[in-house]
Amino acid sequence: MIQALWERILSNYYLVSTVILGLTGVILFIFLPRQKKAKPQFYLPFLILVLVVFYEILAVNMIVNKPLNERIHYLLTSDPYKGWNSWVFNIFNYLLSKILFLLLIRVNLKNPTRRKIVHFLIGILILGGIVLTISGIEKIHEPQPIFYFISNITLIIASGFFFMDLISEDYFLSLNPVQFLPFWYISLILFQSALTLLADVAFEYLAFNRVDIYFLFNYTSMILYFLLSIVFNTLFYLGRNNFLKNSEI
């Protein structure tokens, strides 16, 4: 089983790069000074990297280890088991990782009203997921296009808030956005959310009718996440939010 899992991971470049960048991220984070580790600007990207590695391996494991997947499936629902691992992505990718991304964007916001709105968006995301699943509108073990739409839209709105802050808050006046790491990772989050929004909403149609188009969007999303992991690793390596050496920000 383990052998099959390894073979599956090693045959997928995205998985390999995610695991490698996840591990380097963990190592670089360990070497950060204690007071920096306690800052959300650092521990939230760290949690995102760890969570992504965890759910990507879990998703592969659910394909390899069918009996375990089946057991978990029947813990979550009484519907017939189809061998899918959608529940892994529904819970860990579209709910938990999006909450972490929203929190990370919130940390970089300076406008108190926008920060409150992001809190509200997190509430909508959690409530949306619970209501849609419990009411049976969308099943936890199947693709959830409405929930994917909500999670991507909340991230797009929150990312938009960051850019609004960038052009309106005095805090950002002395900054060069190109040298500011949150600018890069929030831009990547915005791009990933916007581009995958279509693919996620049309997931069912694309995954079953036009796999090539589905993969096109999927690969784009993977490349964007790869870049995002590099930015997070750079953040841990530099130990600051800015490329500038003398910057305290």
Query: Which residues are at the interface with other proteins (CB under 8 A)?
Result: 160, 163, 166-167, 172-173, 177-178, 187, 190-191, 194-195, 197-199, 202, 206, 209-210, 213, 216-217, 220
Taking the complex as a whole, how short is the minimal distance between the CB of residue 92 and other proteins, in angstroms? 25
Q: Which is nearer to other proteins, 92 or 172 (CB)?
A: 172
Please name the residues in contact with 45: beta carbons below 8 A apart, sequence gap of 6 or more: 25, 104, 185, 232, 235, 236
Taking the complex as a whole, how short is the minimal distance between the CB of residue 204 and other proteins, in angstroms? 13
| Angle CA 140–141–142, to nearest 5 | 95
Burial of 246 (0-12, 13-18, 19+ CB in 10 A): exposed
Taking the complex as a whole, how short is the minimal distance between the CB of residue 215 and other proteins, in angstroms? 13
Residue with tokens 């069918």, as numbered in its chain: 66
Q: Which is nearer to other proteins, 29 or 180 (CB)?
A: 180
Q: Which is nearer to other proteins, 101 or 191 (CB)?
A: 191
Taking the complex as a whole, how short is the minimal distance between the CB of residue 225 and other proteins, in angstroms? 16
Helix or strand run (H / E) with residue 196: helix 181-201
Taking the complex as a whole, how short is the minimal distance between the CB of residue 194 and other proteins, in angstroms? 5
Q: Which is nearer to other proteins, 43 or 163 (CB)?
A: 163
Q: What is the dihedral of CA 59, 204, 194, 217, to 10 degrees?
A: 70
The DSSP string of 25-70 is HHHHHHTS-HHHHTSHHHHHHHHHHHHHHHHHHHHHHHHH-HHHHH
Taking the complex as a whole, how short is the minimal distance between the CB of residue 181 and other proteins, in angstroms? 15
Q: Which is nearer to other proteins, 113 or 174 (CB)?
A: 174
d(CA 242, CA 183): 10
How would you classify residue 136: left for phi > 0, otherwise alpha for psi between -120 and 50, otherwise beta? Answer: left
